[in-house]
Chain A
Amino acid sequence: MNARGLLRLFLGLYLALFFAYLFLPLVFMVAAAFNASRLPTMLPWEGFTLQWFWGFDARGRPTGLFQDARMGRALLNSLIIGAGVILLSVPLGLAGALLLSSLRSRLKGLLYAVLVSPILTPGVILGISTLIFWQRAFDLGGGLFLVVVGQSTFIASYCMLLFMARLERFDRTLEEAAFDLGARHLQVIRRILLPYLRPAILSACLIAFLQSFENYNTTLFVIGAEDTLTINIATRVRLGLTPAVNAIGVLFIGATVLAAVGYAFLRRREERARTAALARERAAPAAVRPVPAPA
């Protein structure tokens, strides 16, 4: 075997190792959720059980995740916050992307830096500054509203990047053509721009929800006395550790897999639509294509 073949073999082994490194801890965590052992561990295996989802111990006390009322409340809060973050960050991100895509001055660079900066700021600092500002300016303490605001600070930036990426490929001549044909501004936005942005809007909603749902570092500082699912998990991990935490992990991973597959599906559909549009354009006779105006 020559040197390159050997290198390939090593790389293949390394790749297998890497994916094992990514997945095995999650597999262990999931397996421990079904182990009858009172401690959250896969070994030693003491038999299969569902009691960490729903069940009672020898003395008749509930052991399951679904029997915990605080969990339900935390989940509800997480869903409310997620919805709030979508409603706030998607319009913010869209407005930012539209503004930046039409600016061409030095201002553009500055504004871009400001609007992207939250992505490069540690989450705890976003939480802290949100807490301080709203406390001092509006005498508002931590709670669900501040969590929505604090998370949206950076989630809106992610949404903006998604919209900007899509707008980069937007064919402005479509807008021009519509104007030439007598369309009004709102018509152009409603009939051309928004339909074009639709996949990006869907992606942004999904990303915003996922980011919000799993956020911990920002949320921790602005949550006040409330609870979200992620905060609840962290508290459980620190205090009374039972495999009920692993049971949450199982549900979380399940939901994540579904969402990831859904997202991949969306992306593929978008990709296909683009390829199809490109093929149509290629098939169209050259004479029909818009002639670029002389500069």
Chain B
Amino acid sequence: MAELVRRFGRPVTGLILATVLLWALLLIVLPQLAMVELSFRPNLPLAQRGGPEDVWTLANYAALWTNSLHRTIFWQTVWSSLLVTLLAFLVCYPVAFHLAHEARGTTALLLVTGLVIPFWVNEILRTFSWFLILARNGLVNQVLLALGLIGEPLALGGTGAVVVGMVYAYVLFMIFPLYNALENLDRNQIEAARDLGASTWRIHRRIVLPHAKPGIAVGCVMTFMLAAGTFAVPQIMQSLPGGTNARWFTQIVYSYFFDGGDWNRGSAYAFALLILCMLFVGAALRVFKVGLRDIAR
């Protein structure tokens, strides 16, 4: 703190402190607390709020536990998000490695720019582009019909379509952390291992993968969080024929807020989702033995 005053003087230090305090309190801490607090209260009509029935309760969380449909959708969201994360990693790893270690000069620059452009295209539009491919009159059906492989358009909706859409929508959140981590791996280490007779597989397992750990952790955390917390992708993919059963947990949360008008239960469900994501972040940081600090790229 003393250093702050020395560098910026008292007035500016005060301004900085006040700004950060406002940010941390009004935008981050208090809203989260408000949500958590609301989740432990019953949903009462306005007149009864603050009355004798307005007590702390776990009922909103119990509802998630006892409602088998909601529970199923919750776990389906968890497994699908894990699958999306794993697929995104498998798809990205070879590309990230190539970009960081094989591509040179202009090629590398072009390739990276090629990644940046779809990265900044809206999530909705990215999903929509896959929706168009899988739709009843979409590319897949048109091609299969033209080849005479099918007589009727297939209904391609469902959890699979949602997962495909998500891998496509979030693949770049995996590739950039991986690329950043691999970029500063010393090439000589790979050369040395190769000269000593290590196989490609062994080089990756013993040198490249361990070096990429922070990148893997960040990529997995971002991808999982985006997948578990998305509303856009399942909403769009559900409009596919056969897609209605692919419900996502965030959609239940949304309907409690805007269709059911039960903010309390919606908050409880949202908090459950947040805890899930926090557990995943904690697990990823522990498994890959990296700190929160490495999140900063």
Interface residues of A (CB under 8 A from B): 4, 7, 11, 14-15, 18-19, 21-23, 25-26, 28-29, 32, 39-44, 91-92, 95-96, 98-99, 102-104, 111-126, 128-134, 136-137, 149, 152-153, 156, 161, 164-165, 175, 184-186, 188-189, 210, 214, 216-217, 220-221, 230, 233-234, 237-238, 241, 245-246, 248-249, 252-253, 256-257, 259-261, 263-264
Contact A125 B229 (CB under 8 A): yes
**Bound: A2/B270 CA distance, A:** 54
Give which listed residue, A136, A156, A256, contacts B120 with CB less than 8 A. Answer: A256
Is B292 within 8 A of A22, CB to CB?
A: no
**Interface residue? B115 (CB, 8 A):** yes
Residue of B nearest to A39 (CB): B137
Query: What distance in Å separates the Cβ of A159 from its nearest Cβ neighbour in chain B?
Result: 11
**Which of B120, B143, B226, B254 has its CB near the most chain A CB atoms (within 10 A)?**
B120
Starting from the known contacts A124-B270, A237-B239, 12 additional A-B residue pairs (CB-CB under 8 Å) come to A18-B91, A22-B114, A28-B132, A99-B16, A120-B221, A120-B225, A121-B274, A125-B274, A161-B297, A186-B12, A189-B8, A234-B124
Question: Given A26-B118, A153-B28: A98 and B16 within 8 A (CB)?
Answer: yes
Of A11, A43, A117, A164, the residue contacting B296 (CB under 8 A) is A164
| Contact (Cβ within 8 A) A115 B120 | no
Q: Are B23 and A95 in contact (CB under 8 A)?
A: yes
CA distance A26 to B28 in the complex (A): 36
Q: Does A210 lie within 8 Å of B28, measured CB to CB?
A: no
Given contacts A39-B137, A233-B124, A260-B116, contact A122 B225 (CB under 8 A): yes
CB 8 Å contact bits of B87-99 with A (1 = contact, 0 = none): 0000100110010
The docked-state distance in angstroms from the alpha carbon of A124 to that of B226 is 10
Chain A hits for B133, CB < 8 A: 25, 28
- How many positions in chain B have a CB within 8 Å of any CB in the partner chain? 87
CA distance A102 to B228 in the complex (A): 36
- Of B116, B129, B253, chain A has the most CB atoms within 10 Å of the CB of B129
Q: Are the CB atoms of A22 and B124 closer together than 8 Å?
A: no
Partner of A95, one of B20, B137, B257: B20
* Cβ contact within 8 Å between A137 and B235: no
Prevailing SS type, chain B contact patch: helix
Q: Mark B222-258, 1 if CB is under 8 A from A, else 0.
A: 0001101111100110010000000000100110010
Known: A124-B253, A125-B274. A118 touches B28 (CB 8 A): yes
Residue in B9, B27, B117 with the greatest tally of chain A CB atoms within 10 Å? B27
Please determine whether B98 and A122 come into contact, CB atoms closer than 8 angstroms.
Answer: no
Task: Mark the stretch among B32-40, B59-67, B68-76, B155-163 that contacts chain A.
Answer: B32-40
A113-B292 contact given A92-B23, A234-B236, A237-B239, CB 8 Å threshold: yes
